Structure 1
């Protein structure tokens, strides 16, 4: 008992040593998640004293242990710094829309979800397409309250709309022009593609027949994939570029923080049945997501020679909660000793990455 008390005392004294970083007057941040709890101490089990909504701008007094100290309602509060963006940072989701002269906004992205509330936690009630126009009712943080129809209202992400009808006319132009080989080869130029290497850090993902880790395979694939996409002129955003843990919510936040044209989550599969093999792609909702998944699957199986297991519905968080065009790719079974061996080769990694790039290219040129 005495030893336990001594250990507790030592830990308490050590935790009292300041390892925080005092913030300057310029440390202003934006909340990048739908709802961020404010606690009375920098600990996950500390009592919640309030919350901040996405888009809230706050002054941070100090940072330590992954927490940020703020002044809330006249008292000290602590929030998880993982969900904060510097207001001057390019990572912060920006709401650049303003009401147009007719009080409307126009959808600037493809397959944009309209929800019952201002955040990705709310239910999807409608899918909007590029050029669709809606009357603006209100605004909350990074979200716009709109009139969906004569009897229903909804919320749409502010970074996916424009105050100009230009997006509508450009959509019409795009559908009226026939596809050419030059369009196909340049279809990725200027596109913002978020590549998500599944798992990482303390989360190894699945473990292969010979002990290889999924998190290492996904990172290797995304590295090659990023290089190929950049060669095609795409703007590439990686959710992680090293072996580090990233929550599912954080991955979606990253996708939501950019004017993302497509989000692709990379994974490798596993099954108790060692003979399970092949590639499959997943989507959550909508014809656009399903079409992208089909294009990627066709090209990956063509490039790698692996069996196609089809395009499937997948109730995965990074798809379900993602307001952007999003798919998840399972590039083979590392529980199968034969596929695991192939997957670890440079040849397979290059072919798989080429297949994904071609799938994206085919989708955007169609």
Structure 2
């Protein structure tokens, strides 16, 4: 009996001491993987709380509860908290790594087909968004496709629904648009509102918070396809204060903070998109590049670039912009905003705007 009691004490001591280690699962919690470097572990769910350690990309931890954008785990046997925007669900992460696919679908328009895996190879044709092909071979960041006429051609994998991990430093081109890699850049996407804050109300009482989260996920994926590291200030219908959104940006080495919103106005004829900045210089340049790309990729009216003192811009030390992606009170804008095609076009525009900002 004493031996059994001693064994149980040892068991629970080890469990508490190593609740946070790579590749540990627990029946009472959910396993997550860290998706960023140097993530702080704190004693309380607040960016001002004491830091008790750090975890890095690829580390795994067991989560026992979530609270206002934070998750509770254990670190060195003590209860600890980590900001949830730095974490990936382990099951989703594992699924994302599965490359046992036989076909790919093109995710951009006018994608160049080449006779070899690389931008130094000759262009032999073009393909378009939505087209699906059998994959014959994959080399680095390139897929060799079996075309409808029986011939074969190579396409950049980051322009398909199965991008490979390492992108060519020279980038790949679509007709009229250069796809510039964003490897090494950290982008914080801020879906406006959430939880008890619904934001603006649309014609039929649609809630802005739902639109911003939906489009943010599309934008995030396309930025990641371009090589960027992307952090969301919220990934579900959770309330996050304005102060916390700024804290999230400043807690990380953020190269650009982009807050996504939809507008509203009592006069229903008012419509269109706009990009907002607080300071001249880098923020103005980023807003200008994003708005120019929105004008190019979307069919909504352009309301231009505006200087404003929104909290997430005024109080943020990082380069930051706020983008209004249309009016949900407009009978013209709303049906367009709700389409998947428009959301994809918005994502293309933001990616292009960010690329132009960093590389021009």
So what's the TM-score if we normalise by structure 2?
A: 0.55
- Contact (CA 8 Å) 1:190, 1:235: kept in 2 or not? yes
- Contact (CA 8 Å) 2:42, 2:81: kept in 1 or not? no
Selected match of 2:244 from 243, 246, 250: 250
Which structure is higher in RCO with an 8 Å CA cutoff and minimum separation 6? 1
**1:155-195: CA deviation from partner (whole Å, max 9, x where unpaired):** xxxxxxxxxxxxxxxxxxxxxxxxx8779633412211111
Q: What is the match of residue 349 of structure 1?
A: 343
RMSD: 3.5
Matches within 5 A, 1:1-366: 29=42, 54=48, 56-57=50-51, 185-366=179-360
For structure 2, which runs of at least 5 residues remain unmatched after alignment? 1-15, 21-40, 54-64, 85-169
So what's the TM-score if we normalise by structure 1?
A: 0.54
Change in 2 beyond 3 A, CA 1:321/1:274: same
Q: What is the match of residue 143 of structure 1?
A: none
**1:35-67: CA deviation from partner (whole Å, max 9, x where unpaired):** xxxxxxxxxxxxxxxxxxx474479xxxxx999
Q: Which runs of 4+ in 1 moved over 2 A?
A: 24-34, 54-59, 80-92, 180-187
- 1: distance between equivalents of 2:359 and 2:352? 10
Q: How many residues align?
A: 222
- 1: distance between equivalents of 2:339 and 2:315? 33
- 2: distance between equivalents of 1:291 and 1:86? 43
Q: What is the match of residue 125 of structure 2?
A: none
